[in-house]
Structures are given as C-alpha cells and as structure tokens.
Chains A and B, each alone.
Chain A
Amino acid sequence: MPRTLQDKLAILSDAARYDASCASSGTSRRDSRDGKGLGSTEGSGICHAYAPDGRCISLLKILMTNFCIFDCAYCVNRVSSNTPRARFSPEEVVHLTTEFYRRNYIEGLFLSSGIIQTPDKTMEDMVRIARTLRLEENFRGYIHLKTIPDASPELIAEAGLYADRLSINVELPTDAAVKAYAPEKSPGQIRGAMADVKAQRRASKDRSHTGKRPAKFAPAGQSTQMIIGADGSNDATILGQSSGLYGAYGLRRVYYSAFSPIPDSSAKLPLVTPPLQREHRLYQADWLMRFYGFGVDEITGSRADGNLDLEIDPKLAWALAHREEFPLDVQRADKAMLLRVPGFGTKTVDRILATRRHRDLRYDDLRRMGAALKKARPFITLRDWSPGGTIDSADLRTRFAPPPEQLSLF
C-alpha cells in the first residue's frame, strides 16, 4: 500500500531524531525584502518549539529515506533492522520545507539520509533537493545537509553552495569502535571529507586574482556528532577526540548524543537508559575547552578513570582539585583566572572587567552581574566579602554534590 505523506513524515522524522544537532545559527545574513523569495537568517537561529525531551525544534529534521544498505549497530535504519521504511520524493521534501516555513514552524531544513544504491546516488538526490529549494523556490532559510560518507568531492562541492552547514558524523569516539559497530564506514574517509570541506571553505574566502569573491561555501561551517555510551571509551578519550577535531577541521560544534535504546535494536549493543547526565557533563566540558581556555587534561585530570564527575560540573571539579589557586581577589585577578571561578560565566567576567575599571566591586554587584554566588562564594574575596577558611574545609565538595539517592523501602 502506498504510504501517505503523513505516514512518510512519521517514519522519516522518527528515524531522524537521534541526531542531536538542530542548530541554525551563525550563517550569513539573508532576507527576502526584495519580495522575490522566502525566508531570512539573522545571526542566531530560533527554536520554534520544544519537544518533551527538552530539545529545541528549529529545523525540519528528516531523512530523505530510511532505507539503508549499511549495517551500523547503533542505528535504527541499518539494513538488518525491521523498522518500517519509507522514502520521500524530492518534491515532497521541498513542499514540506516551504509550507512549514511559511507557517513559521521552522528555520529551515536539516536533511540526512540512509544510503541507497550508492553513496553518490544518495548524495545526488540530497543535493537536488537543496538546489530546488534555493534556485526554484528562492528559499533563503537555513539548510543543513548531512553529507554521505564516500560521496564524491564534486557533489560535496555543490552541496556547499546551497547549504549553510555541512556535517558528517564521526559516529563513535575511536576508530576501533567505528570498525566494530559501523563496519561499512571508514573513519579515514570521514576525516578526509571533513578536511575537504575545510579546504573548500578556506578557498571560498580567498579573493581570486580578479578580485571577485567566490561563492560562499557552507557559511555556517561544519559539525559532527559522536554517540556516547555505546562503546567503552572514557571521557578523556572522547574529549581528546573532540579537541583534535576542533583543531584539525575547524568544526563549529561537536555534538554528543547519549546512546539511547532504539526500536528493534541490535543484539550487539547495551540496552540501558541513555547516559543523559554524562552527555550533559561532556557538553559542559566541551564548552570549557572552547570558551574558557581549559585543556583536555585539566578537565579530565581530576579522576583516575579519565571520566568526568557526574555529580558536580567540570569547572567546579577543577576548582576543588586546585584549591591552592583560591580564593581569588575579584578586584584584581586577571581575566583567565576569573573565567575559572565556578559560577562566573563569560558575560559575568566581561561585566566585572568593565565595572571594576571605575570603582570597587561589592558582593551585591556580582549578583546583579549574573554570577551564581552560591557556587562562587567560597572561591572569591571582595572588599566586603571573605570566605574565611571555607576553601580548605574538607566537606566543601559535599555542599555542592547532590545528596545520595534515597533508597526506597521494599
């Protein structure tokens, strides 16, 4: 029986929900004020809805098809699963995208796909959808294409002209894990594709000798995703891998996706509740590496097993392990150290720096500047505040860690 558009949408969005990314920020500014097109992008993207899993819905995130000839153990679409299958025609994807967009449900499209026939054939269809949206529908909203591993460089080059972001998932934290769980994928090819996107992005920024600007190539950059908790890698390995990826390919984001049980899952994988807390800590750690000047080993150095502390956040964990650096004089400390105070965000630190040029700071000022003082208190001194000896007290950690879970009577 042919499937209706409703059925297809149900199947192909269900299949897409394991991709964590829904970002639509940081692309070039566009609008449709000329009256000839639809859509705009301005700096930060908009979350148009939130699902009860707390995730933002910003893009229409769907698979073009969930037929797939690969057999990745963690994926519901793998060839050996019995999940119901469907395939959108390119016109259907274009229709859904523009009609959803006109009703202000979404910022744009995030299209990925299972692999049908060959990688090139699959990528070709995806590029066709993006091309139709841009050139025929004059769609100026956001487009994120998940590129297919092993698709030819020319197709990727064309994809980059229409898409704001390209991504390719490294899938698992180590090459060995990819080999074990995604035997048809090649980590080397995946890295090669990322390097290629990086090179093309760079080339598109150079003016040619005629002084003409080349066409923009994936202006919102590239990102990738790693599944957490399917293999045995510890957090140090995971974060080491991310920092390598950020460095080598100039990625905008590495997404971490707690492995969650999937319908019709493979016997190869653990069926546990997804390690959401671990995922959360990894995001925090990732943030510290990118915006707070922390190195991987600093973040993962405080525990012998190379994992993050699940009970307290990684910045607090670092501060507790380096008490000799505190308490810090907020009036005088340099920016790098202020950024390391638990409870101080980058905005708070900027405000501190701007205000202390004019006058002495007081405890109440910090509250108004957005500091989380409950956390920061033991680590700072101010003209009207001193933590006394709390920094050295043995039970400092227990003040922050949540109480141990209550055991229920049975």
Chain B
Amino acid sequence: MRTVALPRIGTAAAWRTAARGLLAAQVPPEAVLWAWDSPAQIDLFGAEPAPVAPRGDVTVPKAFVALAENVCWHSDPERFARLYAFLWRLRRQPQLMVDRGDAQLATLRGMEKNVRRCAHKMTAFVRFRDLGEAGADGRRRFAAWFEPTHHTLEPTAPFFTRRFADMDWAIHTPDVTARFEGGQLSLHEGSPRPDLPEDGADELWGTYFRNIFNPARLKVKAMTSEMPRKYWKNLPEARHIPDLIANAEARAREMAEAAPTLPPVRAERILERLHAPGVLRGMTFDDLRKRAEAENRETQPGYGRIVLGEGPADARLMVVGEQPGDVEDREGRPFVGPAGQMFDTVAAEAGLERGAAYVTNAVKRFKFTLRGKRRIHQSPTSGDIEHARWWIAQELDLVQPKLILAMGGTAAETLTGSRKGILKRRGAVEETEYGPVFLTVHPSYLLRLPDAAAKAAETARFRDDLASVAKLVA
C-alpha cells in the first residue's frame, strides 16, 4: 500500500505529479491511499512513498487533464481516489473520455460541475470592502471574507487578478487566503473570519438592490436557486431580502390600485412645444442645411454629395423620388435632371403645381460607378436607404405634408417598408407612420421604356396618377 499526501495549496498540480508516477509504475488504484492536508497520516501507515515519473512519460486524453484539474478542488474526500480509478481504466480505453453514459465518468463530471459552479459563485459573490488607507505605492486596498463549498479559491484567484489589477486585495476563506499586492498573487494558510468594517458603498448597493427589484414580479424560487441561502450571510444586499418579499404584494397592489393622477401642468406645455413642426427632432431647416454642408466637406468614394429637397416649408404635398442623379449632384438641387424635367412636364399637364410642393429624394446622395469619365447610376441598397432615413424623416417632420407622393421602389421602401408590387399598388393611398402615402412609378421608368407606344401609355397612366394627387391636395 502506498500513501500519497497532497498539500492544501497546489493540490491539483501535486495530484497530477503523483498520478503520473503511479501510472508509470503501474500501481493499481486499490494499492493507493490518498491523504489531503494531513502529513500525520503518512507516519500512521508508514507506507512507501509514491514513485516519481518525469513529465511526458505518460499520456492521457487532454480532456481528462482539465477534468482532473477541476475535480481536485472538490470537497469529497474520495475525489483523488475516484480520479485515479478512472484514469486507470482510461489508460486502456481512451474512448471512455467521450462516453457520456459511463457511470464513473458521470460522477466525475458531476463533481466537476459542482466545482465549476462553486468557482463561478465565488466570482459572483465575493464582496470586497475598502480598507481605507491606501498602500505606500498609492494602490487602494480591499479585502473580502468568503466561505466556498469546495476548495475553489486557488483556481479562482487568477480571475480576480485579471479583473482587479490596479488595487491590492485579499480574499480570506477558512482554507486559504489569497493576497494580491503590488501586482503579485500569493496563497497562504486560511484564517478565521477577519473583521472587515462596512464602507459607505454597501449602503448604496443596498439602495440599488431594493429599487431594482420589481415587486409586481415576485419569484422567490428563481432567486434562491441561483443565489442559495448559504451565501446570504456574506452578501451585504441579502439583509434586505426578507423585507422586500414581505412587502412585495402590498406594494404591487398599491401600484395597481392607485388611481391615475392628473398630469402635472408642465406636461401639457412641454408636449405642445414638442409636437410643433420641427421641434420633435430638434432640427430646423437651417440646422439641416448646416449639417449637410458639414458632411459634404468630406467625400465618400462612389457617392455624391448630400442634396436636400426644396420647396415651401409648409407645402401640402411632399414629392419623394429615388436619389439625386448626375445633374442633381453637380447642381446641388433635386429634380433638375432628365427625370425631374419629365416630372415637371407631366405634372404641368396634370394640373399639379410643382412649385407648391416640397420635392426631395428618399436617399440623399448620388450613388455611382465610374466608367471612364462617366458616372453610372447605381440603385441604392437597403443599407443606403436605412442610412438615409434620418434625413427624409427630418424633412417630413419639418414640412408635415398632408400627402406624400412616393415615386418608385426606393421611395416606397423608405416610406411604406416595402418596394414590392408597385405597379399593383400605384394610384392608392397607404397609411404609414409618416402619414398618407400615394404610390406611383418613378419618372425615369418612363424614360427607359424603349417602345414608343408603351411609353405613351405609361406616361398617360403617370399623368392620371399625378392628376389624382392634385385633386387630393387641392
């Protein structure tokens, strides 16, 4: 019989070294006694010491190493023996490691889970207190007392060093104390609970805890399953729990029963101001122009400048096209290129007064690719549309038109959320969050039709649409 004594600090590493030696010397599990943190036992049995094997002599599946590293911190006194027994089988059947149905492995995995959970709870529930005076090097000093279920301080301390590196701290547990001073972590024998005075932060934290709780949703079990009572005594916020639970129902009822109060006087004033044109978004036409100028100082490859709409600020009709074209971009004005001219002509025929409408585009920049010296129009993507939405929304808000005329797919997508089936939807008014929207085709569609007869027929339909619009805003 061999006895292996493992130290309290560095347990996992020591177990690994010992197990490696035993395995190399072919010592079966039943011939090993494991002792933890009690050197006296060795003398008691007077057994032979464990053999040593150099690193690299024995190979085991990688997953086992990680498993053992965790299980060694469990509080079960049998943990070392269980690990070694499984390791002994593993040496002949390495595939055991992925057998999630094996009973021995299932126990070890269960223990690993306990340890992990315990370590995780430590990262969650340790509460530092400010010790007041800073150290000589100006670092602030904090300390905590914690009582973990398993021996998890050693594997968890590195987490705290990564997180709280610019301060000195100590975590005391009954087993082990971890100290981090001047950037160095050290582990020591444990100590009884030190006296750590409360600092003002605990009270603020308690205030937060009480107020973030919603008494209308009391779910005590959900709380205790994640924050078991055993932790409460070291959590400063936990002292508020009984009170919160006891009064929750009454508070929720009070909220529900309280009759709605009359709004404060200032509310009406604020809302009235808020809903005046241009206020809600906090912009004026001037602001908008300045913003566009500022953005136009930088060029974006493949895009022209921002071209804002134009027309009376109190127009009853807002006409929305796709995006500025080559001509519009050069002149910095909307609807002055071929499609704009087409629109003007047909509008005049239909009795729609263009000068009384605010004309603009859904997307504010000309998008193009260069072919030689020519800039070829590119349709805006839905990314372009979303990016530009802010601008058109500002314009809509400032103008607050009675009717919006959306011409073509891009305008339709911006204002109604969908560009599908324009030809079927044209000629009707759709209610949207921006107000009523009248859909029709884009005049450039007419320009592109190669067949003269088709062009004439489509132009007539477009004219009819514009005539309906003229009637609607009359």
Contact = CB atoms under 8 A, between A and B. Distances in A.
Interface centre among B220, B252, B267 (most CB of A within 10 A): B267
Interface residues of B, number: 86
Interface in B257-315: 258, 260-261, 263-264, 266-267, 270-271, 274-275, 280-282, 291
A319 interface: no
A360 B201 CA distance: 58
B193 interface: no
B161 interface: yes
A372 B256 CA distance: 39
B164 interface: yes
A69 B263 CA distance: 13
A82 B162 contact: no
Given A79-B263, A187-B433, A368-B100, A50 B386 contact: no
Nearest to A9: B207
A276 B124 CA distance: 26
Contacts of A407: none
Contact of B218 (A11, A53, A105, A266): A53
Contacts of B101: 355, 361-362, 364-365, 368-369
Contact of A96 (B204, B235, B245): B204
A195 B387 contact: yes
A192 B100 contact: no
A13 to B, nearest CB: 4
B263 A189 contact: no
Instruction: Describe A's contact surface by its main secondary structure.
Output: loop
A195 B385 CA distance: 10
Contacts of B212: 13-14, 16-17, 51, 57, 61
Given A37-B165, A50-B222, A260 B183 contact: no
B255 A265 contact: yes
A104 B127 contact: yes
Contacts of A40: 159, 162-163
Interface in A248-307: 258, 260-267, 271, 273-274, 276
A31 B383 CA distance: 35
Contacts of A213: none
A18 B217 CA distance: 11
A96 B211 CA distance: 15
Contact of B126 (A47, A104, A192, A355): A104
B129 A103 contact: yes
A335 interface: no
B344 interface: no
A260 B216 contact: yes
A227 to B, nearest CB: 13
Contacts of B244: 51-52
A394 interface: no
A230 to B, nearest CB: 14
A368 B216 contact: no
A188 B434 contact: yes
B267 A71 contact: yes
B211 A14 contact: yes
B282 A120 contact: yes
A49 B219 contact: no
A75 B285 CA distance: 32
A9 B204 contact: yes
Contacts of A9: 204, 207-208, 211
Interface in A192-217: 192, 195-196, 199
A150 interface: yes
B246 to A, nearest CB: 10
A368 B103 contact: yes
Interface centre among B129, B204, B235 (most CB of A within 10 A): B204
Given A53-B217, A192-B389, A368-B100, A184 B162 contact: no
Contact of A32 (B142, B163, B263, B389): B163
Contacts of B221: 54
A33 interface: yes
Given A40-B163, A46-B120, A50-B223, A274 B263 contact: no
Interface centre among B98, B103, B209, B211 (most CB of A within 10 A): B211
Contacts of A57: 209, 212
Contact of A175 (B95, B124, B433): B433
Contact of B164 (A96, A102, A271, A369): A102
B214 A264 contact: no
A99 interface: yes
Given A17-B213, A61-B212, A365-B100, A33 B165 contact: yes
Given A102-B140, A118-B282, A199-B383, A79 B390 contact: no
B422 interface: no
Contacts of A261: 216, 252, 255-256
Interface in B112-170: 120, 123-130, 140, 142, 144, 159, 161-167
A39 B165 CA distance: 8
A263 B214 CA distance: 11
Nearest to B139: A35
Given A39-B163, A262-B255, A49 B214 contact: no
Given A54-B219, A80-B267, A10 B433 contact: no
Given A103-B128, A364-B101, A38 B164 contact: yes
B217 A258 contact: yes
A186 B214 CA distance: 28
Given A49-B227, A271-B256, A355-B99, A104 B217 contact: no
Contact of A355 (B98, B216, B220): B98
Contacts of A52: 213, 218-220, 223, 241, 244-245, 248
11 contacts: A17-B213, A37-B166, A42-B162, A49-B125, A49-B235, A102-B128, A102-B140, A103-B202, A119-B281, A187-B433, A192-B387
Given A53-B214, A265-B258, A267-B260, 17 more contacts: A18-B214, A31-B162, A32-B163, A37-B165, A38-B164, A38-B166, A38-B167, A48-B125, A54-B226, A79-B270, A119-B282, A175-B433, A189-B389, A191-B389, A263-B258, A265-B255, A355-B100
Q: Give the 4 A-B residue pairs with the shortest CB-CB distance, closest first.
A: A54-B222, A365-B101, A195-B386, A80-B263
